[in-house]
């Protein structure tokens, strides 16, 4: 292959789409193989599993005339065959396999460009030095296995052929554009519904208006269906991001003479691609922190009575309409003393006895306690960046740490970003959207239902006292609290609750989220904006931050 | 940011305008030199100009939604054909009281670096071409530490147009 003109055009993309996951699968398997070897297991089942993907990559590369990719895949295949008959589990061999699969991934990814021929030559030379002539007795079984693999490859091809009639590849930007247009359609539909209500109020109930109402409801239902289908189309499994992590962690750990095992689960859980794309970086950041700062060296671990190998667990699960990702390590835990010292140097008042409060400090800007600036972590880009990204996505992040036992980060993410169901409220004639996912209830205020405790509003909601704040004071629409507001919205997350007093409840609406323009600065209580049916812009309130806002009213 | 020094500044500029008027009796060059293509707008008694290349359009003011806890000098957001446009209150940025929306109020939609944003102005006058040679630095006496967004003044007919550096005016430090 030469640069510039690519005789294969679109075909090369198809090659990459098909072979990249296979190459990555091979890479993951080698990392796992290395671990098994350390435990004294030859990992023959893994070696067998590897043959199919390697063979397919080799075959497809040959078909495309990508001789470099072909020869690297071939070399790895040969070594696997050799290992199956004559296991030689040692660190050098593991290193060769992992670096070889890394090279293969690079080569497949950049199949359209020029390969790094020095690296390839180096690898092939090293690979050749490991290849020993297989003993005769193993020859026949290796051949039989090869035949079997060939058959399997044929099966894979025919399966792919059968699929191709139903599956097409679409540029994700088209799905984005479709969603954008759908969003506009939904706004226009809401505008028509607004006009309808004005008209109905003017001329009263007529048969024609009832027909119009039914037609409008049908349009709304159709839009909802279309939205559901489109949202489903945008979902991809989390494993597309998780899959990169075992190799990443291995590299990080090796550079620090640490042993870390990665366990992932829930990779099949689907998430909107737009959310997933933005999650890669924060997750890498958290994993890097865990390996660099959390998990101890084998010596330290043995002294602490733990196994020399640390464990990193990545778990995704679906919990009540949200995706929860937990990242746990079994390292030393957060250094509370250092966090407190840092807090003091920044002039923050923190109660040392409230562990949760101390731990949550790590999300503040500029709060990196890393002793030394390393190449991979602690560059001053701290967890505040991670926390900001998660909040921008409408998610939450929490940390739990136990000294000597490890740290768990829990990320809660919305399934999808673009359209969210919201409650539209009015405060001092300004309209705001409150995302429904944290609205527990709306309550009409009766006289004397809001009590005063320490000059702050308190209401009894479902038998428990909750803090009720004036929406106008909170959002700056009024200088002082207005006792005549008729409703309060109960926002709830975990065991925290708060009521926000508003003037009117306008209704529920699916709103299209527009991100906040950086010109506006960083308003804490606003997560984005949206355009309402009447064409006016409304701010979307950030329920999580509303719960945290301190205010006097 | 008190309003007190304001009259001084405009008086200074007017005085400077008078001076320029005196100078303008010098005959104009026969061949017109390079020109600045400006969109001008008014705030109180002063007239400002920004390069037309940075102006996307000028729109009437409809609803501007206030954004809670937004940065200083932000009036709010408005709907520009389905796009949410941030509107900057440049009057307060310049030390003037906030604008009152009148039928003559306009939002000038400008592009600064990669950002599109609106600036709320009292009136939009017109598009003018000003010979580059009529541009002079504003007299130091009328400037202050926080007026570095004034890049100069241009004489046009009998008017004096204050030239604005939008980057310095609008891209406030985070």
> pLDDT, tens digit, for every residue of B67-121?
998 888 999 999 887 778 999 999 998 888 998 999 999 999 999 887 889 999 9
Quote the pLDDT of residue A302: 92
Quote the pLDDT of residue A490: 93
Name, in order, each residue with C-beta under 8 angstroms of A390's C-beta and a sequence gap of 6 or more.
Answer: A282, A396, A397, A411, A413
User: Of A312, A134, A538, which is closest to residue B63 (Cα–Cα)?
Assistant: A538
Distance CA A347, CA A341 (A): 10
| Runs of H (alpha helix) within A67-171 | 67-85, 91-109, 117-130, 136-163
User: DSSP secondary structure string, A447-472?
Assistant: TT-EEEETTEEEEEETTEEEEEEEHH
What is the maximum alpha-carbon separation in chain B? 56
User: Which residues of A are less than 8 Å from B93 in CB distance?
Assistant: none
Pick the more confident residue, A12 or A101. A101
What is the percentage of chain A residues whose pLDDT exceeds 90? 13
pLDDT tens per residue, range A186-203:
777 877 887 888 888 888
User: Of A261, A236, A258, which is closest to residue A246 (Cα–Cα)?
Assistant: A261
Quote the pLDDT of residue A148: 57
Quote the pLDDT of residue A339: 81
Distance CA A526, CA B59 (A): 26
Mark yes or no for CB contact A430/B170 under 8 Å.
no
User: Of A479, A482, A453, which is closest to residue A465 (Cα–Cα)?
Assistant: A453
Q: What is the DSSP letter of A292?
A: I
> Rounded to 5 degrees, what are φ and ψ at B42?
-115, 145
Q: Which of A155-169, A507-521, B49-63 has the lowest mean pLDDT?
A: A155-169
Mean local confidence (pLDDT), A484-511 = 87
Name, in order, each residue with C-beta under 8 angstroms of A28's C-beta and a sequence gap of 6 or more.
Answer: A243, A246, A247
Closest partner residue to A475 among B68, B76, B77, by Cβ?
B68
Closest partner residue to B84 among A475, A525, A529, by Cβ?
A529
When pLDDT is cut at 50, 70 and 90, the band that residue A514 belongs to is confident
Pick the more confident residue, A78 or A166. A78
User: Which residues of B are less than 8 Å from A430 in CB distance?
Assistant: 65-66
User: Of A249, A267, A268, which is closest to residue A259 (Cα–Cα)?
Assistant: A249
- Nearest C-alpha in B relative to A183: B82
Distance CA B127, CA B108 (A): 12
Quote the pLDDT of residue A353: 72
Quote the pLDDT of residue A397: 86
pLDDT beyond 80 at A369: no
When pLDDT is cut at 50, 70 and 90, the band that residue A433 belongs to is very high
Pick the more confident residue, B27 or A264. A264
* Structure token digits, residue B150: 């004034």
- The number of residues in chain B equals 174
User: Where does residue A17 rank: exposed (0-12), middle (13-18), buried (19+ CB within 10 A)?
Assistant: exposed
Task: Check CB contact of A517 with chain B, cutoff 8 Å.
Answer: yes
Element of type H or E holding A13? helix A10-38
Mean pLDDT, chain B, integer: 80
Q: Which of A419-423, B36-40, B86-90 has the lowest mean pLDDT?
A: A419-423
pLDDT beyond 60 at A552: no
Quote the pLDDT of residue B32: 61
Mark yes or no for CB contact A476/B170 under 8 Å.
no
* Structure token digits, residue A144: 């039989």
pLDDT tens per residue, range A286-302:
998 899 888 999 999 99
- The number of residues in chain A equals 553
Which chain B residues have any C-beta within 8 angstroms of a chain A C-beta? Answer: 62-63, 65-71, 74, 76-79, 82-86, 88, 115, 117, 170, 174
When pLDDT is cut at 50, 70 and 90, the band that residue A550 belongs to is low
Mean local confidence (pLDDT), A56-83 = 84
pLDDT tens per residue, range A22-49:
888 888 888 888 888 888 888 888 888 8
pLDDT tens per residue, range A131-175:
655 444 444 555 555 555 555 554 444 444 444 457 777 888 888
pLDDT tens per residue, range B145-156:
778 889 999 988
Contact B164, B147 (CB under 8 A): no
pLDDT beyond 80 at A214: yes
Quote the pLDDT of residue A2: 40
* Structure token digits, residue A149: 């693999």
Helix, strand, or coil (residue A110): coil
pLDDT beyond 70 at A468: yes
pLDDT beyond 70 at A401: yes
User: Which residues of A are less than 8 Å from B63 in CB distance?
Assistant: 535-537
Quote the pLDDT of residue B10: 43
Mean pLDDT, chain A, integer: 80
């Amino acid at each position: 292959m030469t640069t510039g003109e690519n005789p294969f055009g679109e075909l090369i993309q198809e090659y990459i789409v098909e072979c990249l996951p296979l190459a990555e699968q091979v890479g993951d398997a080698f990392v796992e193989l290395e671990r098994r070897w350390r435990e004294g297991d030859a990992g023959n089942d893994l070696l067998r599993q590897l043959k199919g993907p390697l063979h397919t990559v080799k075959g497809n590369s040959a078909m495309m005339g990508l001789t470099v990719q072909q020869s690297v895949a071939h070399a790895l295949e040969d070594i696997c065959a050799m290992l199956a008959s004559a296991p030689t589990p040692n660190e050098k061999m593991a290193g060769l396999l992992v670096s070889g699969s890394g090279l293969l991934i690079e080569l497949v990814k950049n199949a359209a460009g020029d390969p790094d021929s020095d690296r390839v030559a180096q690898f092939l030379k090293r690979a050749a030095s490991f290849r020993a002539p297989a003993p005769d007795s193993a020859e026949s079984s290796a051949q039989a296995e090869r035949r079997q693999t060939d058959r399997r490859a044929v099966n894979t091809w025919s399966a792919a052929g059968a699929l191709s009639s139903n599956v097409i590849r679409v540029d994700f930007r088209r799905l984005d554009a479709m969603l954008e247009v759908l969003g506009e359609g939904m706004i226009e539909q809401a505008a028509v519904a607004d006009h309808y209500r004005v008209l109905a109020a003017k001329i009263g109930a007529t048969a024609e208006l009832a027909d119009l109402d039914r037609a409008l409801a049908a349009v709304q239902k159709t839009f909802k269906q279309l939205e559901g289908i489109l949202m489903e189309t945008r979902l991809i499994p989390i494993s597309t991001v998780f899959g990169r992590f075992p190799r990443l962690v291995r590299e990080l750990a090796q550079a620090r003479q640490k042993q870390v095992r990665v366990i992932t689960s829930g990779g099949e859980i689907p998430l909107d691609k737009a959310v997933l794309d933005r999650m890669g970086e924060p997750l890498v950041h958290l994993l890097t922190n865990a390996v660099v700062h959390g998990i101890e060296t084998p010596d330290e671990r043995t002294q602490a009575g733990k196994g020399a190998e640390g464990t990193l667990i990545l778990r995704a699960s679906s919990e009540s309409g949200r995706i929860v990702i937990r990242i746990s390590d079994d390292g030393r835990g957060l250094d509370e003393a250092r966090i407190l010292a840092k807090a003091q140097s920044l002039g923050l008042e923190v109660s040392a006895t409230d562990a949760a409060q101390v731990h949550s400090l790590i999300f503040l800007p500029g709060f990196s306690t890393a002793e030394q600036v390393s190449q991979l972590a602690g560059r001053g880009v701290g967890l505040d960046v991670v926390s900001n990204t998660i909040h921008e996505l409408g998610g939450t992040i929490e940390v739990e740490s136990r000294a000597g036992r490890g740290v768990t980060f829990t990320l809660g993410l919305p399934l999808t970003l673009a359209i969210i169901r919201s409650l539209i409220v009015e405060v001092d004639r300004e309209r705001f959207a409150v995302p429904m996912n944290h609205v527990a209830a709306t309550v009409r205020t009766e006289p004397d239902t809001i009590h005063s405790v320490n000059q702050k509003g308190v209401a009894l909601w479902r038998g428990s006292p909750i803090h009720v704040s004036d929406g106008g004071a909170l959002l700056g629409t009024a200088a002082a609290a207005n006792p005549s507001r008729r409703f309060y919205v109960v926002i709830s997350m975990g065991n925290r609750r708060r009521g926000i007093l508003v003037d009117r409840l306008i209704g529920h609406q699916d709103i299209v989220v527009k991100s906040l323009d950086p010109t506006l600065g960083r308003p804490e209580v606003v997560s984005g904006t949206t355009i309402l049916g009447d064409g006016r812009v409304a701010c979307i309130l950030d329920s999580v931050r509303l719960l945290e806002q301190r205010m006097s009213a | 940011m008190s309003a007190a020094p304001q009259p001084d500044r405009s008086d200074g500029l007017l005085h400077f305008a008078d001076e320029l008027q005196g100078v303008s009796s010098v005959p104009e060059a026969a061949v017109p030199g390079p020109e600045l293509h400006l969109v001008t707008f008014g705030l109180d008694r002063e007239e400002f100009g920004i390069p037309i290349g940075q102006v996307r359009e000028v729109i009437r003011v409809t609803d501007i939604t206030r954004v809670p806890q937004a940065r200083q000098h932000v009036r709010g957001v408005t709907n520009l054909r389905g796009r949410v446009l941030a509107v900057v209150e440049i009057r307060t940025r310049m030390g003037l009281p906030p604008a009152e929306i009148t039928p003559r109020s306009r939002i000038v939609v400008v592009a600064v670096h990669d950002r599109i944003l609106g600036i709320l102005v009292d009136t939009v006058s017109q598009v003018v071409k000003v010979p580059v040679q009529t541009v002079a630095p504003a007299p130091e006496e009328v400037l202050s530490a926080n007026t570095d967004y004034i890049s100069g003044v241009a004489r046009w007919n009998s008017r004096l147009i204050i030239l604005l550096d939008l980057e310095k005016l609008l891209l406030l430090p985070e």
